[in-house]
């Protein structure tokens, strides 16, 4: 036995594609099924959905992050959970719709609307990230939490070990909470504890990140965390990363005295 609309009572309704909505190239409008599995009905018993979404025309394909569209932090924000349109608009301002449409075209999100008759009422209601992206982001955040716990335990251990020799570095290590800053502080303190001095700021960064430009402001970062200038000199990161003089250097003054540059910060060698 079927209803007047051809559906079987007690069975979920088939999803309705709103094929007449063609305002967005590369996207298809559809009416998501309510949790009950049945659309609301009109007076004649016909399905009359109240909400719609826009999704990619190829929903079976894996979502693809558009290159260069969002920073890593903005991407993480979008995919971690669904968002109200007010939140999206607050985050991206006048670019909100353009960004969300591009993400929808690449399968990363669907955009929810209220139906006004047979049209999409503006503005959108919500944005829903692809569930696979949300699951991957939750896993990444969980893994990062675990790594941060391990990092902080190591930081506390080595801060105790160097407290007598490098009290400023020990205090900085214990007072730093942000994982990325804590990682660079831990790298610096580990070098201090092992008596390792670098030839330059770039050499320090290269030894820890395999890329001299990974963090070329690390000397300012460490200083802001509380590393004293003498500690930065001992570490080797107070030396100018761009200008260096080689060979034995003597400064001669007008009174006939001279001074060596051997102990000055900077990349120097002496003979």
Residues whose CB is less than 8 angstroms from the CB of residue 54 and which lie 6 or more positions away in sequence, other chains included: 24, 27, 28, 29, 101, 104, 110, 111, 113, 120
Question: Residue 189: what pLDDT?
Answer: 92
Indicate whether 244 pLDDT > 80.
no
Indicate whether 120 pLDDT > 80.
yes
d(CA 95, CA 39): 33
Q: How confident is the model at residue 247 (pLDDT cuts 50, 70, 90)?
A: low
How wide is the angle at C-alpha 68 spanned by C-alphas 67 and 69, nearest 5°?
A: 95
Question: Residue 7: what pLDDT?
Answer: 53
Indicate whether 218 pLDDT > 80.
yes
Question: Residue 3: what pLDDT?
Answer: 53
Contact criterion met (CB below 8 Å) for 197 and 236:
yes
Indicate whether 10 pLDDT > 80.
no
Q: What is the mean pLDDT of residues 190-211?
A: 89
229 phi, psi to nearest 5 deg: -60, -40
Question: Residue 28: what pLDDT?
Answer: 96
Question: Residue 109: what pLDDT?
Answer: 98
The model's pLDDT over 66-112, given as tens digits with 9 standing for 90+, comes to: 999 999 999 999 999 999 999 999 999 999 999 999 999 999 999 99
Mean predicted lDDT score pLDDT of the chain: 87
Indicate whether 169 pLDDT > 50.
yes
Contact criterion met (CB below 8 Å) for 187 and 172:
no
Question: Closest by alpha carbon to 239, among 205, 214, 192, 210?
Answer: 205
Question: Residue 255: what pLDDT?
Answer: 77
Q: From the centroid of its chain, how far is CA 203?
A: 26
Question: Residue 269: what pLDDT?
Answer: 46
Indicate whether 172 pLDDT > 70.
yes
The model's pLDDT over 21-78, given as tens digits with 9 standing for 90+, comes to: 999 999 999 999 999 999 999 888 889 999 999 999 998 899 999 999 999 999 999 9
User: For the chain, what percentages of helix, strand and coil (3-state, to nearest 5) are there?
Assistant: 40, 15, 45
Question: Residue 9: what pLDDT?
Answer: 59
Q: At what angle do helices 167-175 and 179-193 cross, to 10 degrees?
A: 160
**Cα 79 to Cα 19, 34, 65, 68, 96, distances in angstroms:** 27, 22, 10, 16, 15
User: Is the full-model pTM beyond 0.75?
Assistant: no
Peptide bond into 123 cis (omega under 30): yes
Q: Which two tokens stand for residue 73?
A: 């932090």
């Amino acid at each position: 036995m079927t209803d007047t609309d051809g559906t079987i009572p007690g069975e979920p309704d088939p999803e309705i594609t709103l094929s007449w909505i063609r305002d967005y190239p590369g996207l298809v409008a559809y009416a998501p099924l309510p949790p009950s599995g049945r659309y609301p009905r009109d007076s004649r018993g016909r399905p009359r959905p109240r909400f719609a979404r826009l999704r990619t025309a190829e929903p079976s394909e894996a979502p693809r992050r558009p290159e260069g569209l969002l920073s890593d932090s903005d991407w993480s924000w979008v995919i971690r959970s669904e968002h109200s349109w007010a939140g999206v608009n607050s985050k991206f301002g006048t670019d909100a719709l353009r960004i969300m449409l591009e993400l929808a075209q690449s399968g990363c999100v669907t955009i929810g609307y209220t139906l006004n008759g047979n049209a999409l009422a503006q503005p959108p209601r919500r944005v829903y990230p692809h569930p696979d992206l949300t699951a991957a982001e939750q896993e990444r955040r969980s893994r990062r939490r675990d790594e941060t716990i391990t990092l902080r335990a190591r930081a506390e251990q080595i801060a105790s070990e160097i407290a007598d020799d490098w009290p400023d570095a020990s205090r900085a290590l214990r007072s730093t909470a942000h994982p990325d800053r804590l990682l660079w502080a831990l790298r610096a303190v580990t070098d201090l504890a092992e008596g390792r001095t670098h030839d330059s700021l770039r050499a320090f960064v290269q030894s820890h990140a395999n890329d001299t430009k990974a963090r070329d402001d690390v000397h300012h970062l460490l200083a802001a965390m509380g590393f004293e200038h003498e500690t930065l000199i001992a570490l080797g990161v107070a030396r100018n990363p761009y200008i260096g003089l080689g060979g034995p250097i003597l400064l001669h003054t007008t009174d006939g005295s001279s001074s060596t540059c051997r102990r000055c910060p900077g990349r120097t060698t002496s003979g």
